[in-house]
Chains A and B, each alone.
Chain A
Amino acid sequence: KQEVTQIPAALSVPEGENLVLNCSFTDSAIYNLQWFRQDPGKGLTSLLLIQSSQREQTSGRLNASLDKSSGRSTLYIAASQPGDSATYLCAVLSNFGNEKLTFGTGTRLTIIP
């Protein structure tokens, strides 16, 4: 059974700093990994999708990496801004053909102005 862990559960950093969010998963047989952001009381917004054959994806100030062999992914946020404050979730799609997405519990990020 796939398990996804995100540590820490909460993180506060001053505005302008670069930061890294971590995601680990137990079963390396994945189809893809997706990072989402969720604002309070809202739905999830897809940030980046990394297919299992890829090592990283970039979108603006965001860069996500994937290391399947070690069961880890990181989300790097450059030059953080107060608007980046949100909960960030990673999700792993396992068992291609019987697709099942497993979510972590998220990291609540606060950017201090």
Chain B
Amino acid sequence: AQSVSQHNHHVILSEAASLELGCNYSYGGTVNLFWYVQYPGQHLQLLLKYFSGDPLVKGIKGFEAEFIKSKFSFNLRKPSVQWSDTAEYFCAVTFGGSGNTGKLIFGQGTTLQVKP
């Protein structure tokens, strides 16, 4: 079955530390990949997305992600986190090519806590 998995459920970092959040999916075909952030009390915001082309994608707020097809992974990275990055992070995937329904399936989410 098609699924999305985030390995880290709760991450605690100090400011200026580097961040990497894992995301894997199970599907052998075409995928579109997304990372969203949800700040406390706010709605989901898109950080970045990958459809095709350069597998290294740069997003907003200094985030980037790399699509590694052979590993079915799309890990999110940031070289130096800030206290304001404290939030919930979700990896999401659409499965299939042009004939798919386009429904977005989410991973379990990772809570990031950055200590000042």
User: Are A and B physically bound partners?
Assistant: no
**Which residues in A have some Cβ–Cβ distance to B below 8 Å?**
none
**Which residues in B have some Cβ–Cβ distance to A below 8 Å?**
none
